[in-house]
Amino acid sequence: MKGILAALAAALVIIAVLFYGLYGTSNSAEKEKVTQIAPNYHVQVITQNTDEHFWTMFKKGASAAGVSLNTYVEFVDIAQKDTDTSVQAVEKAIYSKVDGIALQAQDITKTTAVLAIAKKNNIPAVTFENELGDIPNVPIVSSNSYAIGQKEGQMAVEACNGNANVAVIVNGANEQNSQYKSLKLQGILAAFSSYSEMKVQNVYPLNSGMFETEKLMNTILAQNPKPDLIICTDERSTLGVAQVIVDRGEDISIIGYGAMPQTLNYIKSGVIYGAVCPDAYQIGYQTVAQLCAILDKKQVTDSLNTELFSIDKLNVDKYMVESDEK
């Protein structure tokens, strides 16, 4: 009899534990649902479909701002520097009734027109890293293109002791972003203005891409005399130029742009003298922060410039460590 009672008691304990476990789990799940806070806003950030270091860090910064500001940040990747695709992405965002839009403007006319439609629908917009000129009544978050050119020019002077024939590769062959209107180019020329022996031999527009870079390098290296130094103003041309120089064993200094891991390796090994790098993380963070501030009815600055970094053999280890950590 005692054995039967003991077995019944044990069975009741097991049933109680199972019941409590099921109830407790269900209750905990309900509590979690209750404690989750809905995001304040849903913003769409139009980015480029590329693995460049800039876009990787930009997205990390934008995502961090979204977490900090309780905002859902949706990234929409488009083909690189495609105006029509960019405009179509904005149109879709308007149709989807997102709370805010951020993009890198690929032109002035079409982008201005589509953002005017967004404004009519009470959807604010912010642009970032826009070298084309101001979009009326649309704030911008960006590194300073003129300052980038100045820093690259100053680095070139250091690399060649103020005496060199220089080839400059400017990103984009788009008429609206022609070599003569490039703020980066203007900054480079300003840095050279005090050094009579620093001569720009030629300026080459380039649509980024390894194959295009190789073709352009054939043209540059066929010049007589060959340039002593090449300045690149975007990430991909920097790597493409460096690879051609290595493959052909040319003794030409390179000033690059960006902080892609291979760029840092080339700086450490001496293939690239140095590079100027924008703070892509902060550009991403501040882009979302500015958009949220507008949605919160706060006053924002028309133009917010972020920090620039100069990387050479003396400090490249620091950036290599930071890149690994991120």
3 state SS of 193: coil
pLDDT of residue 273: 97
Spell 111-145 as b/e; 16+ CB within 10 A means b: bbebbeebeeeebbbbbbbbbbeebeebbbbbbbb
Asked whether residue 268 falls in the same domain as residue 164, the answer is: yes
**CA separation, residue 162 to residues 14, 191, 295, 309 (Å):** 85, 10, 49, 21
Q: What DSSP character marks residue 221?
A: H
Whether residue 158 is predicted with pLDDT greater than 90 in this model: the reply is yes
Taking the C-alpha atoms of 16, 18, 24 and 29 in order, what is their torsion angle to the nearest 10 degrees? -160
Q: Average model confidence (pLDDT) for the chain? A: 85
Q: What is the pLDDT of residues 213-224, one digit of tens each?
A: 888 999 999 988
Domain annotation covers residue 9: no
Asked whether residue 196 falls in the same domain as residue 167, the answer is: yes
Asked whether residue 151 falls in the same domain as residue 260, the answer is: yes
Domain annotation covers residue 241: yes
Domain that holds residue 237: 145-278+314-322
- Preceding amide of 225 cis, omega within 30: yes
Domain annotation covers residue 182: yes
Domain count, the chain: 2
Asked whether residue 176 falls in the same domain as residue 122, the answer is: no
This prediction has a pTM of 0.82
Domain annotation covers residue 30: no
Whether residue 105 is predicted with pLDDT greater than 90 in this model: the reply is no
Give mean pLDDT, residues 118-130.
Answer: 93
Asked whether residue 262 falls in the same domain as residue 164, the answer is: yes
Asked whether residue 192 falls in the same domain as residue 318, the answer is: yes
Q: What is the pLDDT of residues 192-244, one digit of tens each?
A: 999 999 999 999 988 655 568 888 999 999 988 999 999 999 888 899 999 99
Give mean pLDDT, residues 120-127.
Answer: 96
**CA separation, residue 203 to residues 170, 259, 265 (Å):** 7, 23, 26
Distance of alpha carbon 186 from alpha carbon 153, whole angstroms: 10
Is residue 239 within 8 Å of residue 272, measured between CB atoms?
no
Asked whether residue 74 falls in the same domain as residue 189, the answer is: no
Is residue 73 within 8 Å of residue 66, measured between CB atoms?
yes
**CA separation, residue 212 to residues 81, 113, 238, 253, 299 (Å):** 15, 32, 12, 20, 44
Domain annotation covers residue 307: no
**Domain of 158: which CATH number?**
3.40.50.2300
pLDDT of residue 202: 92
pLDDT of residue 209: 54
Q: Residue 289 — very low, low, confident or very high, per pLDDT cuts 50/70/90?
A: very high
Give the residues across from 311 on adjacent strands: 275
pLDDT of residue 170: 87
pLDDT of residue 247: 94
